[in-house]
């Protein structure tokens, strides 16, 4: 939520503690920026209970997000994690869900693809991870500018 708050408030400072925002504040922030959120995976188990790691996710069912794009007139999907992008790509193949270890590829941030579904074109963009760790030299300020670029596109 730190990047979104900075964009919404027009500040160059990415704050911390967005996870502490109450539900109503988060919803209002998303509305203000005209952003929706959803998960690629609708149902899952974890190989290690309570593990926060994507490698421990055992997907059971994908979310059919292209249908959401048509229904809600969504023009672009912004992915903030490599894992979400990889699972999205896999979900389009009509195959049963697989664990992260079975998905390959490392993608550069930026535009990835434009998908046409039921006559609607949906751009797909991979943003840098909002987490402070990640690509060397990719500062919070640089990430913030990238988020602004695609959120205001």
Maximal CA-CA distance, the chain: 43
Q: What is the pLDDT of residues 39-64, one digit of tens each?
A: 999 999 999 999 999 999 999 999 99
Specify whether the CB–CB gap between 138 and 110 falls below 8 A.
Answer: no
Q: What is the pLDDT of residues 86-129, one digit of tens each?
A: 999 999 999 999 999 999 888 998 999 999 999 999 999 999 88
Whether 133 shows a pLDDT value over 80: the answer reads no
């Amino acid at each position: 939520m730190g990047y979104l708050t900075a964009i919404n408030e027009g500040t160059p400072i990415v704050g911390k503690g967005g996870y502490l925002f109450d539900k109503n504040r988060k919803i209002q922030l998303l509305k203000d920026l005209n952003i929706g959120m959803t998960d690629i995976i609708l149902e899952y188990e974890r190989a290690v209970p309570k593990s926060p790691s994507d490698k421990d996710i055992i997907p059971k069912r994908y979310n059919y997000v292209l249908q959401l794009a048509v229904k809600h007139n969504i023009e672009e999907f912004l992915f903030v994690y490599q894992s979400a992008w990889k699972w999205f790509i896999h979900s389009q193949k009509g195959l049963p869900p697989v664990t992260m270890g079975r998905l390959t590829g490392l993608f550069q941030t930026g535009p990835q693809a434009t998908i046409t579904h039921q006559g609607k074109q949906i751009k797909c963009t991979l943003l840098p991870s909002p987490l402070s760790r990640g690509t060397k030299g990719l500062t919070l300020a640089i990430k913030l500018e990238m988020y602004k670029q695609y959120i205001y596109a």
